[in-house]
């Protein structure tokens, strides 16, 4: 096995930073939307809004887990760089673990994006096919 150099784990730092920024922006957008929907729900008690609020809560949880996996990936990557001069095999294991957590973070983000489409479908259906009472 080749020696791990600082440049290999160093490649992850910009990627992780950009992902964390994207996740944070997504979180703030969902939090704002959640507050708006909760305010509307207090007035109308609409079943459609209730579905959207539950969907939003789950999506916010997914973003939380995505951010957590991304942060853990950054921590492992940093530890990997710290281990390079001492135990190269441990550095490789830490780096591989950081890549695994990065993949987990991306998969969770992908699931959240798919749920976002479902939420848009709920809203679209409520507008195009209103329930008459």
**133 within some domain:** no
Q: Are 63 and 113 in contact (CB under 8 A)?
A: no
The answer to whether residue 13 is domain-embedded is yes
131 located within any domain? no
Alpha carbons 5 and 37: distance in angstroms, whole number: 49
Distance linking the first and last C-alpha atoms of the chain? 69
Residue 33 confidence (pLDDT): 86
**51: Cα separation from own chain's centroid:** 21
Q: Is 21 inside any structural domain?
A: yes
Asked if residue 132 belongs to a domain, the reply is no
Chain segment 62-80, per-residue pLDDT in tens: 999 999 999 999 999 999 9
What span, in angstroms and rounded, lies between the C-alpha atoms of 105 and 79? 18
Between residues 66 and 132, which one has the greater pLDDT? Answer: 66
Q: Does residue 3 sit in helix, strand or coil? A: coil
Range of the domain at 66: 6-126
pLDDT at 21 over 60: yes
In a domain, 1, yes or no: no
In this prediction the pTM is: 0.80
Number of domains in the chain: 1
């Amino acid at each position: 096995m080749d020696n791990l150099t600082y440049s290999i784990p160093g490649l992850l730092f910009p990627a992780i930073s950009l992902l964390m920024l994207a996740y944070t922006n997504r979180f703030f957008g969902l939090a704002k939307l959640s507050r708006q929907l909760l305010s509307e729900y207090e007035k109308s008690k609409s079943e459609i809004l209730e579905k959207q609020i539950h969907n939003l809560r789950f999506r916010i949880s997914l973003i939380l887990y995505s951010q957590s996996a991304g942060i853990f990936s950054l921590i492992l990557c940093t530890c990997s760089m710290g281990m390079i001069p001492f135990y190269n095999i441990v550095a490789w294991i830490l780096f591989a673990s950081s890549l695994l957590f990065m993949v987990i973070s991306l998969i969770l983000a992908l699931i959240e994006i798919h749920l976002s489409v479902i939420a848009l479908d709920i809203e679209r259906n409520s507008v195009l096919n209103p329930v008459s009472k």
